[in-house]
Amino acid sequence: MEYKWTVLTNTTLGVIMSSMNMYIVLISLPTIFRGLNINPFLPGEFIYLLWILMGYSIVLASVLVTFGRISDKYGRARVYTYGFVIFTVASILLSVIPSYTGNLGAILLIIFRMVQALGGGFLMVNSSALLTDAFPINERGKALGLNQVSMVIGSFLGLILGGLLAGYDWHLIFVVNVPFALAGMLWSIFKLKKTKGAENISFDIIGNVTLAAALIIISLGLTYALMPYGSSQLGWGNPWVLASFPVGFIFLILFVYYERKARDPLFKLSLFKVRPFSYGVLALFLNALARGAIMFLVAIWLQGIYLPLHGISYTQTPFWAGVYMLSMMIGTVIMGPIGGMLTDKFGARIFATIGMIIVALSLYALTLLPYNFNLIEFEIILFINGLGNGLFSAPNTTAILNSLPSRDRGTGNGMRQTFNNIGSTISMALFFTITISFFVADLPSEIVTIGTEYGLPISLISFLKNIPASGLLFAAFLGIDPSSALPKSIAQILPKSVLSLIDSESFLPSLLGPAFINALRLSLYISVALVLIGSIFSYMRGGRYVYEDDLKANENKKRL
Closest CA to 321 of 348, 297, 341, 303: 303
Closest CA to 147 of 118, 170, 124, 168: 124
Mean of the per-residue pLDDT values of the chain: 80
Query: How far is CA 425 from each of CA 380, 420, 491, 534, rounded to the nearest angstrom?
Result: 28, 9, 40, 17
The arithmetic mean of pLDDT across residues 372-394, rounded, is 90
The answer on pLDDT for 428 being more than 50 is: yes
Residue 200: per-residue pLDDT: 65
| Confidence band of 556 (pLDDT split at 50, 70, 90) | very low
Say which DSSP state 202 is in.
P
38: left (phi over 0), alpha (psi -120 to 50) or beta: beta
Most confidently modeled range among 97-111, 130-144, 154-168, 232-246: 97-111
| Confidence band of 457 (pLDDT split at 50, 70, 90) | confident
pLDDT one-digit tens code per residue, 91-107: 899 989 998 888 898 89
As beta bridge partners, residue 30 has: none
Closest CA to 304 of 462, 499, 477: 477
- Residues 6+ away with beta carbon under 8 Å from 263: 202
| Residue, of 150 and 359, whose pLDDT is higher | 359
As beta bridge partners, residue 229 has: 232
Identify the burial level of 22 via C-beta atoms within 10 angstroms of its C-beta, where 0-12 means exposed, 13-18 middle and 19 or more buried: middle
Contact present, 438 and 519 (Cβ < 8 Å): yes
The answer on pLDDT for 199 being more than 70 is: no
Angle at which helices 349-367 and 275-291 cross, to 10° = 10
Residue 501: per-residue pLDDT: 74
The arithmetic mean of pLDDT across residues 359-384, rounded, is 93
pLDDT one-digit tens code per residue, 460-493: 778 777 777 777 777 777 777 666 667 776 767 7
Which region among 188-197, 331-340, 342-351 has the lowest average model confidence (pLDDT)?
A: 188-197
Closest CA to 65 of 262, 337, 228, 356: 262
pTM of the predicted model, to two decimals? 0.75
| Confidence band of 316 (pLDDT split at 50, 70, 90) | confident
Instruction: Spell out a b/e string for 317-327, using b for 16 or more CB atoms within 10 Å of the CB, else e.
Output: bbbbbbebbbb
pLDDT one-digit tens code per residue, 260-306: 777 767 677 778 888 888 899 899 999 988 887 777 788 888 888 89
| H/E element, 432 | helix 409-454
The answer on pLDDT for 167 being more than 70 is: no
